[in-house]
Amino acid sequence: MDAIHLEGLSFFAFHGLYEEEAKLGQRFVVDLTCWADLTAASMSDQYEDTICYGTLAKTVEQVVTQTRFNLIERLAGAVCEAVLEQDLRIARVRVRVSKPSAPVPVHAGSFSVEITRDRINNPSSAPLPGMRQLTSD
């Protein structure tokens, strides 16, 4: 299976358990891998045969910045759901959400979670409340 990678997508958002996180916000970094059959695109060199990277990035941005979650585990799961909904050609998605400034009492580079979902496990991925289908750039 072929893969498309979007790495280091950075967003300012307000996720977290603590009141300070909801008020002040912080940076979140998202890495996304989507598995799909890219044979047609690799042979045709035609835009319509591939999955739009810009649309994928906008889908991630919308989930990260337009909805608030207590846990980055739920944020990563919501990104998976939205990406699977965005393009039916995507068979599997992996999302890593990093929280570089987590409020913990030890010095750390960042904390992250990684979630992988297969379309077979989410055959009718429903959009999140308030989500809309994005169009290609």
- Active-site option among 92, 94, 99, 117: 99
pLDDT of amino acid 131: 37
Stronger pLDDT, 2 or 1, i.e. the higher one: 2
Query: Mind listing the domains of the chain with CATH numbers?
Result: 2-121 (3.30.1130.10)
Contact 81, 95 (CB under 8 A): no
58 catalytic? Reply is no
**Gap between the Cα atoms of 93 and 33, Å rounded:** 6
Question: pLDDT > 90: what percent of the chain?
Answer: 69
> Is 49 or 120 the better-scoring residue by pLDDT?
49
Measured CA to CA, the distance from residue 94 to residue 116 in angstroms comes to 4
